[in-house]
Each structure stands twice: as structure tokens, then as C-alpha cells.
Amino acid sequence: MPSYNAPLKDMQFLLHDVLNIAASDVPGYADLDQGFTSAVLEEAGKLATDVLAPLNAVGDTEGCRLENGVVRTPTGFKAAFDQLREGGWTALDCDPEYGGQGLPYIMGTAVGEIFVSANMAFNMYQGLTHGAYSAIHVHGTVEQKAMYLPKMVSCEWTGTMNLTEPHCGTDLGLMRTKAEPQADGSYKITGQKIFISAGDHDMSSNVIHLVLAKAPGGGEGTKGISLFIVPKFLVNANGTPGARNAVSVGKIEEKMGIHGNATCVMNYDGATGWLLGDLHKGMRAMFTMMNEARLGVGLQGYAVAEAAYQNGLAYAKDRLQGRAVTGAENPQGPADPLIVHPDIRRSLMDQKSFVEGARALTFWAASLIDRSHKLNDEAAEGLVSLMIPVIKGFQTDKGFDAAVLAQQIWGGHGYIEEQGMSQFARDARIAMIYEGANGVQALDLVGRKLAQDGGKHVMAFFEMVKTEVKAHDGDDRMKGFADPLKTASKQLQQAGMFFMQNGMKNPNAALAGSYDFMHLMGHVCMGLMWTRMAKAAYAALDAGTGDKDFYNAKIATGRYYMARQLPACGMHLARIESGAEPVMALAAEAF
């Protein structure tokens, strides 16, 4: 059975050596000193190791059941959810006005990683609630906030997001769910929503559904869409759950993974809902939550990979099979451990260098979100909005690959469900699909984000990379970082140039290369992160502080990424520069 231990040292390294958050001007960051963050993360790690991780396989095996209209979660989930609530973990980065602890978003991100690694399906109940909390927090009236937020901060009530319908996921303009205005200001919501994560369950006394629907007078397509609050139980004047609303679970989907989360078909049969935010501006209201939601999924990508890696590594150290080609390393034993073999090492280094790089990128993005929220820093907001499709698309693709690599180390035992390695791969797979499939992320990046605000943000990103490269000019130690980063960054710029020169004449020339661009940019981001991490590690070594072995390992891991992963950039550029022709040459009928 897999186990999990939170990578506390790696997290502390990022927060303090690399991002130096306690010295930041972001309000609230000054309190985040080594001691405080260490205490928080250590406690989260204990809960993850002792309570959540052991339930991961239980959730996978048992799944959720629909019994007489009620969704039953797997054995132990409810008790664990109570522990999560009682420990205040659900309130970590929520507004103190509604019972939150008011910690910065970056702390929620670090703790979130720990919980996702331990049990992705379980953590989604809280994650979805946090998304719904944010939507109400930003768009709700004073009364709505007072009515829902305190209960959602504590996860006494949980939340959901209802977008997808059977015939439309990406193209929400096709939506059919209707909202009919009532005399009392409420709406009657009618329609079917599918793939609703945490749609219903037995761990909270109410479920607050946020539902996109079309109200009269909004016009065609996405313009007519509004966002509604539709509670499972209507809320009494005194704030307690009252009468059952006309919303029910049609069925629970059988999925490839995340079995511990109830993915529901939700039927709204004239359910009572209240407008959240402006009429006919529902898409905009959803989009304000998009950055955080997608960052959260990008986090899932590497967080599941981290857990898979830990267990792949354990097996590589434990399993005796074959001998090192350079001579026996365990001569007393019947064979050497797998980890002596170069190809196993390659696999482990692929996983490790990805996970640590992705964590750095995610924490950095979280710090940009804090900066954007708390300082109204528009540059930070623009940069993170550029970065989000990369983080979501690249990290979930690579996270899945990494989970598959970890599974592969286990050989045949990795294919057997009993060992738990298959679950990591199956769970990780969904992150490439939901919250905008990765192809849609690539489209968002190339079709929207590159040109946003006149291309200001992507130019700022290039400038930032250039500055980083320049800072290490003539520094021999950093050559293995700065040189490949410079090359990769130039390749990325060249790809962007290709889009500019060809995309105007033929938009397909840009879109045919969008997926490769997303990955190319992902590698450049990772290269930037590894350069910064190496710099911080060298600084610590120079200062003679801390654990020498740890910092040396950091540098070696980064060197691996630069040497072995950044060469993918040339491949992506070549594909992009082959343009639309090879991609679109076949007529649809010729397939």
C-alpha cells in the first residue's frame, strides 16, 4: 500500500530560500517566517500521512454509492472530513470576516499540495467548496455572503460548480439549462448538469450548487448565461437548512479514477435559485474564479506525481533485481536494488526534476496571485493569467507522464491494483481533462493570452527570463542553467514570432502549433524556476547554512532538467514551424 510524506524541506526551500516570502511587501507575508510555515506544513503533513493517505486506496476501491437518492462516501471519509474541519484546514486562506484564518493564498497552495498528494479525490470536496466560496465572496450580495460563507469556510456546507451539460462542455454557449424569474426575485432552475464533482455526499449538512443557466433576455450563446446559487436544502431565516430543493442526483458516474469523489449527474427540476452577480454576466463571474481553479488543477498534476514518485522511489530502493553494470553494489544480497540501473535512475530523475520544478512554478504563481489580490498589482495579475494555461496544461500532462513512469518502475506489480501505483496514473489522468481540457488551455494561451493587453505580459515574461540569464553571465557554476535557459527562451520567442508572422494570414498556422507552444513555454518556465532554485542553493552553500547535501541534490536535480528536458524545446519549435499545412492537409472526409 503506498505511503506519503510531505516534502517539507522542499517546500521550506521554496518559500524561504527561493521566494523569500517573509521579506516580501505583500500584506500578510511578513508573518510567514520559517518557524510559522514549518509548523503549519508539518501539521498538515501529519494529517496527510496519518489520516488522508491511508484512505486513498479505500476511496479508490469502494468508490461512492447512490442509495435512495443519497450519496454515500467511502468508509472513513466522513471522519476524516470532520478532522479536516476541526483542524481549521478548510478555513486556512479564507476571509476572517467569515471565519477564515486569513492566511495568504500561497499557504493554502502549499497545504493543498500536501492534501492532494495524500488523497486527491478526498481533497476535491474541500477544493470545490473553496471555489464556490470564492465566487460568492467576489460576486455575492452582503446578505448572500452572510448566509453562505461562514458555513462554507468551515465546510459545514460544501459547494459545487455546475457548468457542463451532456451536449456541451467547452462550448457553453450551447447550454440548455433555463432560469425562469419568479415574483419573489428568485429563479426556477430547470435542466441537467453532468460531471459535477462532489455533487452530493454525506459529509456536510448542505450543498451549495453554483449553476450556470440561461435567463430570458440575454441573447444567444454565452451572452445569455447567468450564475445562480442553488442550495440542496433551502436556507431558513435562522440560517439552518430547511426544505429540500428540487435538485437531485441522477447517477454517479463510473470513472477511470478519483473514485472517492462523487461525480454526479445533477437534475434541476424547477429548483429554486438566486442570481449570483449580474444578470447575463455569468460567464464573467465564472472566469474570475478560473485562474485559481486552473492553478489548483495544475497543482494536482504534480502533487499526484509527487506521491507516485515517492512510492516509485521506495520500490527502486527496495526491490532487488539484476546487478549494476559497473559492479555489484549489494554483493551480500542476491541482487542489487533497482536504483543502481541507469534507466531506473533516468526515470526517477525525470519524475523528481519535474515535480520540484512544477512545485516552484506553482508556488511562484500563487505568490503572484497574492500580489495581484493584495496589492492590486496589475503586472502580477497579467503575468499569472498568461502562466495559468501553461501551468494547467503542461503540469497535468507531465504529471500524468510522471505517474506512469513511477508505475513502470514497479513492473508487473505496478499494473496490479493491490499495489496502488495504478491509482496514481488513473487519478492523474482527469487533471488533463477537467477545468478546460489541455487542448483548450493551449488555445487559451495562443489564441488569447499571448496577445492580451497588446502582448505586454508575454513581453514581460521574456524580459524576466533575459534578466535572469544576464544575471549569471560569466558565472561558471551557473552555466549549465543560464545557457540552456537562454537557448530555450530564444526558441520560445522564435515560436511566438512564427505565430505573429503567419497567424494573421492563417489562424490555423498558430493554432496547429498551440499545443507545442504550451509545452515549449512550460519547459522555459521550468528552466527559469530551476535557474532560480540553483541560484538559491548556491547562495545557501556559500553562506554555509543548512543542509549541504540537500542543496547539492537540488543543484544536481536542476542540472538534470536542463540537460535532459530542455532539449524538448527544439522539437516543439520545429513542429510549430512546420505550420498548419501538415496538420490540416487531410480533408475531414479523408480520415
If one asks whether residue 417 binds its own copies (CB under 8 A), the answer comes out as yes
132 in Cβ contact with 292 (< 8 Å): no
For its own copies, the binding residue among 181, 411, 455, 546 (CB under 8 A) is 411
Sites for its own copies among residues 146-175 (CB under 8 A)? 164, 167-171, 173-174
Measured from the Cβ of residue 80, the count of other Cβ atoms closer than 10 Å reads 22
Interface mask (CB under 8 A) for its own copies, residues 5-44, using x and -? Answer: ----------------------------------------
- Residue among 307, 245, 256, 289 nearest 129 (CA): 289
Let me know if 292 is a catalytic residue: no
* Distance of alpha carbon 94 from alpha carbon 91, whole angstroms: 5
Least distance (Å) from its own copies to the CB of residue 270?
25
Phi and psi angles of residue 108, each rounded to the nearest 5 degrees, phi first: -60, -35
Interacting span for its own copies (CB under 8 A) from 137-145, 154-162, 341-349, 489-497: 341-349
DSSP state of 253: P
* Distance of alpha carbon 432 from alpha carbon 438, whole angstroms: 6
Residue recorded with cell 449570483: 276
Cell numbers describing residue 131: 471555489
Least distance (Å) from its own copies to the CB of residue 123?
18
* Distance of alpha carbon 452 from alpha carbon 267, whole angstroms: 38
If one asks whether residue 344 binds its own copies (CB under 8 A), the answer comes out as yes
Least distance (Å) from its own copies to the CB of residue 118?
20
224 in Cβ contact with 215 (< 8 Å): yes
If one asks whether residue 320 binds its own copies (CB under 8 A), the answer comes out as yes
Residue 376 CB contacts under 8 Å (≥ 6 apart), including other chains: none
Sites for its own copies among residues 277-316 (CB under 8 A)? 313
If one asks whether residue 438 binds its own copies (CB under 8 A), the answer comes out as yes
Strands 225-231, 206-214: pairing is antiparallel
Least distance (Å) from its own copies to the CB of residue 533?
15
For its own copies, the binding residue among 77, 125, 394, 434 (CB under 8 A) is 434
Least distance (Å) from its own copies to the CB of residue 182?
29
* Distance of alpha carbon 437 from alpha carbon 446, whole angstroms: 15
If one asks whether residue 227 binds its own copies (CB under 8 A), the answer comes out as no
Side chain identity at residue 208, one-letter code: I
Indicate the residue among 459 and 580 with the shorter CB distance to its own copies: 580
Strands 225-231, 233-235: pairing is unpaired
Cell numbers describing residue 281: 454576466
Q: Name the active-site residue from 435, 468, 577, 589.
A: 435
Least distance (Å) from its own copies to the CB of residue 107?
27
Least distance (Å) from its own copies to the CB of residue 116?
18
If one asks whether residue 342 binds its own copies (CB under 8 A), the answer comes out as yes
If one asks whether residue 568 binds its own copies (CB under 8 A), the answer comes out as yes
Binding-site size, its own copies (CB under 8 A): 94
Sites for its own copies among residues 499-518 (CB under 8 A)? 506-508, 511-512, 514-515
Sites for its own copies among residues 449-488 (CB under 8 A)? none
If one asks whether residue 552 binds its own copies (CB under 8 A), the answer comes out as yes
For its own copies, the binding residue among 246, 290, 433, 541 (CB under 8 A) is 433
230: left (phi over 0), alpha (psi -120 to 50) or beta: beta
For its own copies, the binding residue among 67, 69, 183, 326 (CB under 8 A) is 326
User: CA 319, 325, 329 angle in degrees (round to 5)?
Assistant: 55
For its own copies, the binding residue among 1, 23, 328, 416 (CB under 8 A) is 416
For its own copies, the binding residue among 123, 347, 372, 395 (CB under 8 A) is 347
232 in Cβ contact with 198 (< 8 Å): no
For its own copies, the binding residue among 343, 474, 476, 544 (CB under 8 A) is 343
Sites for its own copies among residues 374-403 (CB under 8 A)? 400
* Distance of alpha carbon 1 from alpha carbon 420, whole angstroms: 6
Give, in order, the Cα–Cα distances in Å from 539 to each of 22, 534, 543, 552: 17, 8, 6, 11
Least distance (Å) from its own copies to the CB of residue 424?
11
For its own copies, the binding residue among 195, 364, 461, 499 (CB under 8 A) is 195
Residue recorded with cell 426575485: 185
User: CA 81, 83, 87 angle in degrees (round to 5)?
Assistant: 120
313 in Cβ contact with 518 (< 8 Å): no
Interacting span for its own copies (CB under 8 A) from 39-47, 101-109, 149-157, 250-258: 250-258
* Distance of alpha carbon 260 from alpha carbon 75, whole angstroms: 10
For its own copies, the binding residue among 120, 121, 207, 430 (CB under 8 A) is 430
Instruction: Give me the active site residues, please.
Output: 435
